[in-house]
Amino acid sequence: MYFAHFAVGTLAAGAAVALVVACSDRVTAPCPVPNLSGTYSLDSIQIIGQGTFTPPGATGTLQLTTTTYVADLDLPVIGAQHDNGTFSACGSGTFSQTSAVTAVTSSGSFTSNALKLTIDVTTQGQRFVNFWTKS
């Protein structure tokens, strides 16, 4: 999960509205919501096209409730970053987050087991793959 977001243009908001309108006639069963709650430590983060960053050079913590997150990262390429907001995860593996700091929405996928969490999201065209261990 990468949380250093930038401002979103109105084009993205328009696209989101168009997607909701286009899909509003579909009826789907609700997706099972996994419980990802807990505190996680960064194992590594891949910023596609820029490299993979691991401790001790890159550090981070992620706190999740059932619907909110708080993330603190310190990466060599961007420095210290703090973000918080809301997220949703579906048992099928879909993931999205919206920053309360920047209002940017990122979407992608996740996998998890009892101790490991991997989040693969794209934010404004940049892909981030995050590997976390539950504390």
DSSP characters over 63-74: EE-SSEEEEEEE
Sequential pLDDT tens for the chain (135 residues): 444 432 223 223 222 222 333 333 455 667 889 999 999 999 999 999 999 999 999 999 999 999 999 999 999 988 999 999 999 999 889 999 999 999 999 999 999 998 999 999 999 999 999 999 999
**What is the maximal distance between C-alpha atoms in the chain?**
49
How many CB atoms within 10 Å of residue 110? 21
What pTM was estimated for this model as a whole? 0.77
pLDDT score for 26 = 52
Contact 66, 38 (CB under 8 A): no
DSSP state of 36: -
Query: Is 63:70 a contact under the CB 8 Å cutoff?
Result: yes
